[in-house]
Every structure is written in C-alpha cells, then in structure tokens.
C-alpha cells in the first residue's frame, strides 16, 4: 500500500469515526427527549436504530485492523489507530446506554402511576449530552483544553447522580404506588452517569493521541 493511499484511508477512518459519533449523539438526544415526553414511539425508534450504530463501530474496527496490517506508520499513526479503536468502543457503549434510556422510557410510560422526575435529572441529562459533544469535538480538533475540561464535568456528573439517586429513593419510600416508574428513573440516572464516564474516557484517548500521555481523567 502506498503512503498516499494509506493517508487517504486514515482520513476515511477519521470521517467514519466522527460519523459514528454523530449517530450516537443523535441517539442520545432523541432518547432523552423521548424520556422527557414519555414518547414510546420515539423510544422504539432509538432501539431499532441501534443496529446501525453497532455496524458502524464494526466498520471502524475493521478499518483499524486493515491499516495496522499495512504497517506504513509515521510516529503518530499507531496512536491514532489505537485511539480510534478505543473511541469506537466507547461510542458504541454510549449508544447502548441511549437504548437503555429508551427501554426504561417505554416501561415508565406504561405504568399506571408515574412519579415526577427530580429537577436535577434535567441538569444531568444536559450535562451528559454536553460531555458527549465535547468529547467528539475534542477528537475532531485534537483540543487538549476541551479534553481536560471533562474532568470537572465528570465530577459534577457523579455528584448529581448521588443527589438524584437519594431523592428517588426517598420518593420510593413516600410514593410506593409509583415505585416502578421510580426504579426506571434510577436506571436512567445510572445510564446518564455512565455516558459521562465514557465521554471522559474518549477525552483521555484524545490526550493520548495528541501528546502521547496516558491521562486518567476518571480515577
């Protein structure tokens, strides 16, 4: 494989990874909107679209393996290939968490008695969306400031998860007739916190790609 061909394929890999990121971001945004509106039809669409996310993750991983086999590297290429493989996996897992939110939305919407979500759930949802977008943007720009900024966001996500979980547990004690919907909300809160974690992991891979430092942003 000529180096010029190899470079074109690296560019294609970057584009496909960003496309995967856009698909996952779309899934998360619409899963959270479905949760806010208890829209069962929209939630079902998120679940159906998950197969496309899985297929695109496999495409990225196949491209990485093919490029590794070519062995036409400069100094940064191995880091890019390793980072692309890892980021694709993180994005696919975030897509899975979006599906989890969609599933819980369907279950909650079918309950006869539904609790009102704690106000902080909206803040956590917005934070998770922001963190995913920032992690993708940091990869696109190879922007260290954006990547390192996710450390503080992840700490806030942990704090919000603890706060919201405590509120929901108290609601379950006070409103036992709404227990099933509250349990579903607890699952959504956990999924949002895991999305924050995975987004932070992506930022860590961006730091490795950019400056060759394995930085643990989520100890």
Say if CB 96 and CB 50 are below 8 A apart.
Answer: yes
Say if CB 43 and CB 103 are below 8 A apart.
Answer: yes
pLDDT computed for residue 48 by the predictor: 94
Residue 172's region, left for phi above 0, alpha for psi from -120 to 50, else beta, is: alpha
Within a domain: 219: no
> Cα(218)–Cα(208) distance, rounded to whole angstroms?
14
Within a domain: 173: yes
How many domains, the chain? 1
Q: List, in sequence order, the alpha helices (H) in 38-76.
A: 40-70
Within a domain: 170: yes
CATH number at residue 186: 1.20.58.220
pLDDT computed for residue 5 by the predictor: 83
pLDDT computed for residue 75 by the predictor: 66
Cα dist from 146 to 114, 134, 137, 143, whole Å: 38, 7, 8, 6
Cα dist from 180 to 55, 96, 116, 169, whole Å: 33, 22, 12, 12
Within a domain: 198: yes
- Reference 126, options 192, 198, 46; nearest CA is 192
Within a domain: 169: yes
Q: Which domain holds residue 76?
A: 3-211
The tens place of each residue's pLDDT in the chain, 219 residues long, gives: 577 888 889 999 999 999 999 999 999 999 999 999 999 999 999 999 999 999 999 999 999 998 888 776 676 788 899 999 999 999 999 999 999 999 999 999 999 999 999 999 999 999 999 999 999 999 999 999 999 999 999 999 999 999 999 999 999 999 999 999 999 999 999 999 999 999 999 999 999 999 998 887 776
> Cα(118)–Cα(208) distance, rounded to whole angstroms?
37
pLDDT computed for residue 77 by the predictor: 83
> Cα(167)–Cα(127) distance, rounded to whole angstroms?
19
Within a domain: 67: yes
Return all residues near 108 (Cβ < 8 A) that are at least 6 apart: 35, 38, 114, 180, 181, 184, 185
């Amino acid at each position: 494989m000529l180096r010029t061909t190899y470079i074109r394929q690296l560019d294609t890999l970057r584009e496909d990874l960003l496309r995967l990121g856009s698909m996952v971001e779309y899934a998360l945004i619409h899963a959270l909107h479905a949760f806010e509106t208890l829209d069962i039809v929209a939630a079902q669409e998120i679940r159906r679209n998950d197969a496309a996310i899985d297929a695109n993750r496999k495409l990225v991983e196949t491209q990485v393996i093919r490029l590794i086999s070519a062995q036409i590297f400069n100094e940064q290429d191995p880091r890019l290939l390793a980072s692309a493989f890892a980021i694709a996996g993180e994005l696919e897992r975030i897509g899975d968490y979006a599906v989890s939110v969609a599933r819980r939305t369907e279950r909650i919407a079918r309950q006869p008695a539904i609790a009102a979500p704690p106000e902080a759930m909206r803040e956590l949802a917005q934070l998770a969306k922001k963190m995913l977008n920032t992690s993708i943007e940091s990869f696109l720009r190879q922007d260290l400031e954006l990547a390192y900024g996710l450390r503080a966001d992840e700490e806030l996500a942990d704090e919000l998860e603890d706060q919201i979980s405590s509120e929901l547990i108290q609601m379950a004690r006070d409103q036992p007739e709404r227990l099933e919907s509250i349990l579903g909300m607890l699952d959504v809160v956990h999924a949002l916190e895991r999305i924050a974690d995975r987004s932070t992991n992506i930022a860590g891979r961006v730091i490795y790609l950019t400056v060759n430092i394995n930085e643990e942003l989520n100890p």
